[in-house]
Amino acid sequence: MVGYAFMGRAHSQAWRVAPRFFDLPHDPVMQVLVGRSPERAAQAARRLGWAEVETDWRRVVERDDVDLVDICTPGDTHAEIATAALAAGKHVLVEKPMANTLAEAETMAAAARAAAAQGALSMVGFSYRRVPALALARDLVAEGRIGEVRQVRAQYLQDWLADPDAPLSWRLDKARAGSGALGDIGAHIVDLTHFITGQRVVGVSAMLDTFVAERPVATSTGALRGTGGADRGPVTVDDSAVFLARLSSGAPATFEATRFAWGRKNAIRIEVSGTAGAIAFDFEDMNVLNFFDAADDARTAGFRRVLVTEPDHPYMAAWWPAGHGLGYEHTFVHQVVDLVEAVAAGEQPTPSFDDGLAVQRVLDAVERSAASHSTFTPVDDGG
Ligand code: SOE
């Protein structure tokens, strides 16, 4: 595994727990953790359960005792590490967004196709696909339980940047993160829309805004928010991404991604209205899927609050008795399970690098649309 911050911790926990709760076809060995500082990497390795430490990922991707490389670094390093690992015949898991630019994503997807022909498989870490309630939503839509998809409304709302004194971090630096709310969290709701509806976003009309142009330079880092000093530096990414979209069927969709929504901590909200019903989800109540069936008797119809903790629900048979819910970290465990099972079967895991590329194409279109204001129609002010 390369990197050991927030995502590295989430992935490490998943690699350790997955074989203890699921019958995996392979038993993952947490062999080597890569970090630039030998001391800090060694400390992280001890805590997270990795056997060894390396300071240069290039040495690791060539090693005979490494089968899979898990990339948990900021986006500016994804393309280089992933393509080198695939070329060395390793399976690859890469955090989202897959890349910082469309060109990098195209290179990575091409490398993944070539490597797959040689048996090296790859996956993008869109972990929310593995929330049981969202996997159930996808199954219900695929089974036609809400009919044809008419409209999608998707939001990803956080508030860890709403305070203008929240310090800078790599997530606010375009060179390292590629974009702001758009790629960090907007990418998740684009991927979830692709996943749940089985359709792709084919066009957008977008607005990107940066509300706070300068912030204190960080003197220490936290999982998301560190502490700041007296010096200030520029924010070079968007704080908010709002866009209208068309899906491949022609259905309209709306998207909003922001880290400025006070009071919303990790509110991934997605609602899909179909011709025969609807599904609605909010990650802040992640064990629940709301389901509306338009065929119900109008006198008693309403959204059913389905507690997605039954053994019949996706992933749930391996966990606790019904009603004993799951949390954020379990999505990463399920990701490991699906990845290891696909690798053992020699099948392409999903989301593939081509799925990651499809999301990257949307992010790129959003940036181009916002920059051109091409579809922005001013309201007649009557003057
Ligand atoms: C920060 O906004 C972040 O950590 C994202 O980078 C993750 O992808 C998301 O799961 C939680 O929020």
Local confidence band at 321 (pLDDT 50, 70, 90 cut-offs): very high
Q: Which atom of ligand 1 is nearest to the CA of 184?
A: 6
Q: Which atom of ligand 1 is nearest to the CA of 95?
A: 8
User: Please, which residues bridge with residue 281 across strands?
Assistant: 270
Element (H, E) at 240: strand 240-247
Identify the CA nearest to 233 among candidates 252, 216, 250, 255.
216
Gyration radius of the chain's alpha carbons: 21
Question: Is the beta carbon of 331 within 6 A of some atom in ligand 1?
Answer: no
For ligand 1, the distance from its centroid to the CA atom of residue 184, given in whole angstroms, is: 6
Residue ranges per structural domain of the chain: 6-127, 132-285+287-326
Looking at ligand 1, which residue's alpha carbon is closest to its atom 12? 185
Q: Which atom of ligand 1 is nearest to the CA of 223?
A: 4
For the chain, helix, strand, coil in percent to 5 are: 40, 25, 40
Determine contact, residues 239/161, Cβ cutoff 8 Å: yes
Per the listing, tokens 């909200």 go with: 269
Report how far residue 161's alpha carbon sits from residue 260's, in angstroms, rounded to the nearest whole number: 6
Report how far residue 237's alpha carbon sits from residue 261's, in angstroms, rounded to the nearest whole number: 17
Identify the CA nearest to 273 among candidates 296, 248, 290, 256.
290
Tokens of 193: 């829309």
**Residue 168: pLDDT above 90?**
yes
Q: Which pLDDT does position 234 carry in this prediction?
A: 97
Q: Which pLDDT does position 222 carry in this prediction?
A: 78
Mean pLDDT of the chain: 97
Choose one of 161, 185, 189 to mutate for the ligand 1 pocket test, by most ligand atoms within 8 angstroms of C-beta: 185
**Residue 375: pLDDT above 80?**
no
pTM of the full predicted structure? 0.97
Segment 105-128 shows an average pLDDT of 98
For ligand 1, the distance from its centroid to the CA atom of residue 148, given in whole angstroms, is: 31
Looking at ligand 1, which residue's alpha carbon is closest to its atom 9? 185
Question: Is the beta carbon of 102 within 6 A of some atom in ligand 1?
Answer: no
Determine contact, residues 362/204, Cβ cutoff 8 Å: yes
For residue 165, count other CB atoms closer than 10 A to its CB: 10
Question: Is the beta carbon of 158 within 6 A of some atom in ligand 1?
Answer: yes
Determine contact, residues 102/361, Cβ cutoff 8 Å: yes
Segment 260-275 shows an average pLDDT of 98
Residues 190-210 have pLDDT tens digits of 999 999 999 999 999 999 999
Segment 141-160 shows an average pLDDT of 98
Q: Which pLDDT does position 261 carry in this prediction?
A: 98
Is the ipTM, as predicted for this complex, more than 0.85? yes
Segment 149-164 shows an average pLDDT of 98
Local confidence band at 107 (pLDDT 50, 70, 90 cut-offs): very high
**Burial of residue 294 (number of CB atoms within 10 Å: 0-12, 13-18, 19+):** middle
Amino acid occupying residue 89? G
For domain 132-285+287-326, which architecture applies?
2-Layer Sandwich (3.30)
Local confidence band at 219 (pLDDT 50, 70, 90 cut-offs): confident
Report how far residue 57's alpha carbon sits from residue 72's, in angstroms, rounded to the nearest whole number: 12
Query: At the topology level of CATH, where does 6-127 sit?
Result: Rossmann fold (3.40.50)
What is the phi/psi pair of residue 123, to 5°? -150, 150
Q: Which atom of ligand 1 is nearest to the CA of 96?
A: 8
Local confidence band at 374 (pLDDT 50, 70, 90 cut-offs): confident
Determine contact, residues 111/83, Cβ cutoff 8 Å: yes
Report how far residue 72's alpha carbon sits from residue 9's, in angstroms, rounded to the nearest whole number: 9
Residues 25-67 have pLDDT tens digits of 999 999 999 999 999 999 999 999 999 999 999 999 999 999 9
**Residue 101: pLDDT above 90?**
yes
Q: What angle do CA 346, 134, 325 make, to 5 degrees?
A: 105
Looking at ligand 1, which residue's alpha carbon is closest to its atom 4? 224
Question: Is the beta carbon of 205 within 6 A of some atom in ligand 1?
Answer: no
Q: Which pLDDT does position 283 carry in this prediction?
A: 98
Question: Is the beta carbon of 185 within 6 A of some atom in ligand 1?
Answer: yes
What is the phi/psi pair of residue 79, to 5°? -60, -45
Q: Which atom of ligand 1 is nearest to the CA of 6?
A: 4
Question: Is the beta carbon of 184 within 6 A of some atom in ligand 1?
Answer: yes
Choose one of 184, 266, 283 to mutate for the ligand 1 pocket test, by most ligand atoms within 8 angstroms of C-beta: 184
Report how far residue 168's alpha carbon sits from residue 162's, in angstroms, rounded to the nearest whole number: 13
Looking at ligand 1, which residue's alpha carbon is closest to its atom 6? 184
Helix, strand, or coil (residue 107) = helix
Residues in the chain: 383
**Residue 223: pLDDT above 80?**
no
Report how far residue 178's alpha carbon sits from residue 185's, in angstroms, rounded to the nearest whole number: 12
For ligand 1, the distance from its centroid to the CA atom of residue 156, given in whole angstroms, is: 10
For ligand 1, the distance from its centroid to the CA atom of residue 185, given in whole angstroms, is: 6
HSE of 72 in the Cβ direction (CA atoms, 13 Å)?
20
In our burial notation (b when 16+ CB lie closer than 10 A, e otherwise), range 52-67 reads ebbeebeebbeeeebe
